[in-house]
Chain A
Amino acid sequence: MTPRNTPSPHSASGLSLVVGPALAWDHRFIPEHAEPVDPTVSYPPPPAHPPGPEPAQPRHRAWWRAARTRGPLRRSTTDRMGGGVAGGLSARFGIDANLIRFAFILVAVGAGTGLAAYVVAWLVIPAEGSTTSIGRRALADRRTVGLALAFVTGLVAVLLVLGAIGLSFAANLVWPVSIAVGGLVLVWRGSDAEERAHLSELLGRAPLIGSSEHHTRRANTVRVLLGLALVVIGLCVLVASSHPTLATLRTVIAANVAIVGFLVVFGPWWLRLARDLAVERRERVRSEERAHMAASVHDSVLQTLALIQRAAGDQGEVTRLARAQERELRAWLFEGRSPGSFTGEVSTVSQAVSVIEGEVEAAHRVAVESVTVGDCDLTTELRALLGAGREATVNAAKWSGAPSVSFFVEVEPGQVSVFVRDRGRGFDPDAVGTDRRGIAESISARVARHGGRAIIRSAPGQGTEVELVMPRTGAVRERK
């Protein structure tokens, strides 16, 4: 069991509630409260920190103090704006969480190091109730590491290029921002389900990319102002810069900045539109599916049930109806063929077999037990083979007197074989009437015409078995 921390105090989160739904990054732009708390001092956690076993006396706490917990440093899961780092530090060292947040923000605004330090802390400090950090989990996955490296490389390249063309402010930001971005990629990929849900919610509340239901009017205002600011900055750079290298590029850069500003203003609206459209389409597809399903069930199952009620006295008829319906339903549920589409596109051997099974059962009131091993597309030869197989099945149904006929088809690499067997009265193949001989010959001749062969085995009282074998064209061609 992981060491259990006492539940995080809510005195600290009371303050953050006052801030309301606004986000951590909103605060970063507020340059007040210069509190000299350097987060790097409190991180990494001093291993031998005095436990400070003062029993909780919440009433006499100074305004900047918070309730402390003992045990190792953990990111808070209850008092968190981003990763719960500040909440965790607050609980561990007894300093108000919002003060720690302000400190992070100040250092972030300064040279970006606060941001990097925060993300690194996010990575290395395990969450409450856990012993492994996100960083360890993320680094175990090579794809995650690759992704993070790709992001960092790309960003470093962009910032270095910006620095080279004279935007010197970018040079200071290269390392902290790169570390922060790489770290955030690791955080996203390595975080567990609970934390990821929190991150999604956080993103949803973010003023720039949030979904519609989280949009407050204030967030919209912030977004529009930010967009306009970017447009203005773009224009200012265009007008004011006199740097020679920049002179050639400034039009491009300024235009890009303006475009980004435009996107910031209108992007969310487009995104929302696209998302709403997708949701609506999904809903429509779903309801169409439901309607289709209801229609199919009505046409097949309900009709059959009605027929069965009417034919309740006729056992053979009921059995036939039930079998036909069962087969149709199974074809629909497991093979995806709609009821009634049996005569439609039959393109494979197994489909043809179930068509034959269904037709013979329906027409002759016998059960056809079909088994198909393997499958392949139908060719002219195979159509002939199965046609002959169907003849044999009909033959068995008509003449044998057996209640069921076995219909076995095996597709092998070199050939397809069909066995039709009944346990009916059988006959003596040497002394058959001309009518049956005719049928037998039509079966044999049909198969032989396409290069196959037919063998008929029967004896009086022993049932009949017809064996049909057809070599596969592809295999024949291979042999040539």
Chain B
Amino acid sequence: MSENKVRVFLVDDHHLFLSGVRAELGDSVEVVGDADEVGAAIELIAERVPDVVLVDVHMPDGGGQAVIEAIGAIHPEVRFLALSVSDAAEDVIGVIRAGARGYVTKTISGPELTEAVERVADGDAVFSPRLAGFVLDAFAADPGAAGGAVPSFDPELDQLTPREREVLRLIARGYAYKEVARELAISVKTVESHVSAVLRKLQLSSRHQLTRWATERRLL
């Protein structure tokens, strides 16, 4: 991690924000380029193949989701961390299901962002407290409570294990991975693997509730 700097690409349609993120990331990572629109982003990312792409959720022409889907088809090894000002459940779930390895809000501090980028580069998932809250909400413990029992197609994917639930709850409470590990007396690596498992479920679950729930949240 320290000898090889993570190669990062930035995609955001706000120039102010692009330069802000560049400044915040500083020397800890190598920024290999940036783009302010979807088309240019896809082209440049395909050409430079960075380790991690920091991508804004909201952009014209399909937003971050379009970039993630286009690159995912040709360079599955490129990892995405979504950045957004919006905490709308629909956006968050949408971008994660498109293939992002994590989601953080733009109010995140510089060191935290760097940590998140490195974590994503290592193949782990990054959950902001709010994303953890969304997942807990969407995978409610009692599916019967929210609008009738929907049959699970794949219990493996459609439910969280009690341990995953504990981990998510701590993240939602504002615990860093290290703190979660200490609290549950497990290693950071185990915390990371739990979160990655949740990410996988979030991306692959065929749960009806997930989309329906996200849409309902939007309509509140």
| Cα–Cα distance between A428 and B87 once the two chains are bound (Å) | 36
Interface residues on A, range: 20 to 34
- Does B6 touch A at the CB level, under 8 Å? no
Is the CB of A328 closer than 8 A to any CB of chain B? no
Shortest 6 CB-CB distances between A and B: which pairs? A406-B174, A371-B133, A408-B173, A419-B173, A373-B136, A371-B172
With a cutoff of 8 Å between Cβ atoms, the chain A residues found around residue B87 in the complex are 330, 334
Q: Please give, as numbers and ranges, the residues of chain B lying within 8 Å of A441 by CB-CB distance.
A: none
User: Whole-angstrom distance between the alpha carbons of A96 and B174 in the complex?
Assistant: 81
Write out the residue numbers on chain A whose beta carbons fall within 8 Å of the beta carbon of B189: none
Indicate whether A460 reaches chain B with its CB closer than 8 angstroms. Answer: no
What is the minimal beta-carbon distance from B109 to any residue of chain A, in angstroms?
8
Cβ B220 vs Cβ A371 within 8 A: no
Whether A410 sits at the interface, judged by CB under 8 Å, is yes
Determine whether the beta carbon of A408 is less than 8 Å from that of B86. no
B173 touches A465 (CB 8 A): yes
Q: Contact string, B86-108, partner A, CB cutoff 8 A, digits 1/0?
A: 11100000000000000000010
**A129 interface contact, C-beta 8 A:** no
User: Which residues of chain A are within 8 angstroms of B88 by Cβ–Cβ distance?
Assistant: 334
Cβ of A450 < 8 Å from any Cβ of B? no
User: Are B142's CB and A330's CB within 8 A?
Assistant: no
Inter-subunit contact B129/A371 (CB<8 Å): yes
20 sample A-B contacts, Cβ–Cβ < 8 Å, listed by A number:
A323-B107, A330-B86, A334-B220, A335-B220, A369-B130, A369-B174, A371-B130, A371-B132, A371-B133, A372-B133, A373-B172, A406-B173, A408-B129, A408-B169, A408-B173, A413-B142, A419-B174, A421-B173, A421-B174, A465-B173
What per-residue 1/0 map shows which CB atoms of A411-442 lie under 8 Å from chain B?
A: 01100000101010000000000000000000
A373:B173 contact, CB within 8 angstroms = no
Verify B133–A408 contact, CB threshold 8 A: yes
**Interface flags, A392-422, vs B, CB<8A=1, else 0:** 0000000000000110101011000001010
Bound CA span A413–B140, Å: 10
Please give 16 more A-B residue pairs, beta carbons under 8 A apart, in addition to A408-B173, A413-B142.
A334-B218, A334-B220, A336-B220, A369-B130, A369-B174, A371-B172, A372-B133, A373-B137, A373-B172, A405-B174, A406-B173, A406-B174, A408-B129, A421-B173, A421-B174, A421-B175
Q: What residues of A have a CB within 8 angstroms of the CB of B107 in the complex?
A: 323, 367
Assembled-state Cα–Cα distance A367/B175 (Å): 16
CB of B85 within 8 Å of the partner chain: yes
Which of B85, B140, B172, B173 is packed against the most chain A CB atoms within 10 Å?
B173
User: In chain A, residues 126-155, which have Cβ atoms closer than 8 Å to a Cβ of chain B?
Assistant: none
Contact A374-B173, Cβ < 8 Å, known A367-B107, A413-B142 = no
> How far is B87's CA from A23's CA once the two chains are assembled, in angstroms?
57
**Residues in A whose Cβ lies below 8 Å from that of B220:** 334-336
Q: Report the separation of the CA atoms of residues A406 and B133 in the bound assembly, to the nearest whole angstrom.
A: 12
A contact residues around B174 at 8 Å (CB): 369, 405-406, 408, 419, 421, 423
Q: CB within 8 Å of A: which of B57-97? A: 85-88
- Chain B residues with Cβ below 8 Å from A299 are none
Which of B87, B130, B132, B172 has the largest number of chain A CB atoms within 10 A?
B172
Least Cβ distance of B35 to chain A in Å?
A: 25
A326 touches B (CB below 8 Å): yes
Say whether, besides A335-B220, A406-B129, A413-B142, A326 and B85 are in contact (CB < 8 Å). Answer: yes
CA distance A29 to B220 in the complex (A): 58
Interface residues in B108-146 (C-beta closer than 8 Å to A)? 129-130, 132-133, 136-137, 140-142, 145
Q: How far is the CA of A410 from the CA of B137 in the complex (A)?
A: 9
A345 CB to nearest chain B CB (Å) = 15
Count residues of chain B with CB under 8 A from any CB of chain A: 22
B contact residues vs A (CB 8 Å cutoff): 85-88, 107, 129-130, 132-133, 136-137, 140-142, 145, 169, 172-175, 218, 220
Q: Tell me the complex Cα distance, A326–B88, Å.
A: 13
Residues of B within 8 A of A373 (CB): 133, 136-137, 172
Kindly state the separation between the CA atoms of A373 and B134 in the bound complex, as whole angstroms: 7
In angstroms, Cα B142 to Cα A373, docked, is: 13
Taking CB atoms and an 8 Å cut-off, the chain A residues in 318-360 that contact chain B are 323, 326, 330, 334-336
Question: How far apart are A312's CB and chain B's nearest CB, in angstroms?
Answer: 14
Instruction: Tell me the bound Cα distance from A372 to B129 in angstroms.
Output: 10
Query: Cα distance A374–B85 when bound, in Å?
Result: 22
Choose from B85, B140, B141, B172 the contact partner of A408 (Cβ within 8 Å).
B172
CA of A406 to CA of B85 in the docked complex: distance in angstroms? Answer: 18
CA distance A174 to B137 in the complex (A): 61
Chain A residues within 8 Å of B86, by CB: 330, 334
Q: B residues within 8 A CB of A334?
A: 86-88, 218, 220
Cα distance A97–B180 in the bound complex, in angstroms: 81
What is the bound-complex CA distance between A207 and B117, given in angstroms? 69
Cβ-defined partner of B141 (8 Å) among A330, A335, A412: A412
Q: How far is the CB of A413 from chain B (nearest CB, A)?
A: 6
**Alpha-carbon distance A369/B87, docked complex (angstroms):** 12
Instruction: Report the minimal beta-carbon distance from B40 to chain A, rounded to whole angstroms.
Output: 28
A413→B133 CA distance, assembly (Å): 16
How far is B108's CA from A323's CA once the two chains are assembled, in angstroms? 12
A325 to chain B, nearest CB (A): 11
CA distance A406 to B128 in the complex (A): 12
Point out the residues of chain A lying under 8 angstroms from B172, CB to CB: 371, 373, 408, 410
The docked-state distance in angstroms from the alpha carbon of A334 to that of B216 is 11
B149, chain A: closest CB distance, angstroms: 14
Closest to B217 in A: A334
Give CA–CA (A20, B130) in the complex, Å. Answer: 65
**Nearest CB to that of B130 among chain A residues?**
A371
B133 contacts which chain A residues (CB < 8 A)?
371-373, 408
How far apart are the CA atoms of A405 and B218 in the complex, in Å?
26
Chain A residues near B140: list those with CB within 8 A.
Answer: 374
CA A421 to CA B172, docked complex, whole Å: 11
User: Please, which residue of chain A has its CB at the minimum distance from the CB of B129?
Assistant: A371
Residues of A within 8 A of B169 (CB): 408, 410
Give bound CA distance, A336 to B130, whole Å.
20
Q: How far is the CA of A405 from the CA of B141 in the complex (A)?
A: 27
B173 / chain A contacts, CB cutoff of 8 Å: 371, 406, 408, 419, 421, 465
Report the nearest A residue to B131, measured CB to CB: A371
Residues of chain B lying within 8 A (CB to CB) of residue A369: 129-130, 174
**How many angstroms from the CA of A458 to the CA of B154 in the assembled complex?**
41
A374 vs B145: C-alpha distance in the bound complex, in angstroms? 11
